Amino acid sequence: MALSAGIILVLGVIHLVYTFWGSKLSPRDSALQSTMSQVSLVITKQTTVWRAWIGFNASHSMGAILFGLVYGFLAIAHGQLLFQSFFLLSVGLVMLGGLLALAKAYWFSVPFTGISVALVCYVIGIAVWWA
């Protein structure tokens, strides 16, 4: 379980670093980034598509980091609480399943593989606890 959480934590930290430093999450076409920086969203004129892109990526990273920290802490320091809570185990399983579905549909092989391994570790952690 701790390994599962650690994988998601690392993916979240890497994603956060890529969001604010370097060009890994920038479009290959610099003209597109320029256009994204000038165009607002339909919902509001208070931000641009580019600023929303950065915000969405940062909050996405923060969610993965939060998952990794909370589930890692629970697995290491409060295993009894975690493994005896159907609610916590279900939330974690649904979260990882949702991330895996998103990775398959919208992302690329590295996050898909990492999330797949994290999900397998998560399920094995539950199985080992209940064995």
The reported pLDDT for the residue numbered 114 is 98
pLDDT confidence bin for 71, thresholds 50/70/90: very high
Give the pTM.
Answer: 0.94
Counted domains in the chain: 1
For range 67-73, the mean pLDDT = 98
pLDDT confidence bin for 36, thresholds 50/70/90: very high
* Cβ proximity of 57 and 25 under 8 Å: yes
* Cβ proximity of 90 and 31 under 8 Å: no
In angstroms, rounded to a whole number, what is the distance separating the alpha carbons of residues 1 and 14?
Answer: 20
131 in helix, strand or coil?
A: coil
For range 22-44, the mean pLDDT = 96
Side chain identity at 61, as an amino acid letter?
A: S
pLDDT confidence bin for 69, thresholds 50/70/90: very high
58 in helix, strand or coil?
A: helix
pLDDT confidence bin for 19, thresholds 50/70/90: very high
Range of 73's domain? 2-130
pLDDT confidence bin for 46, thresholds 50/70/90: very high
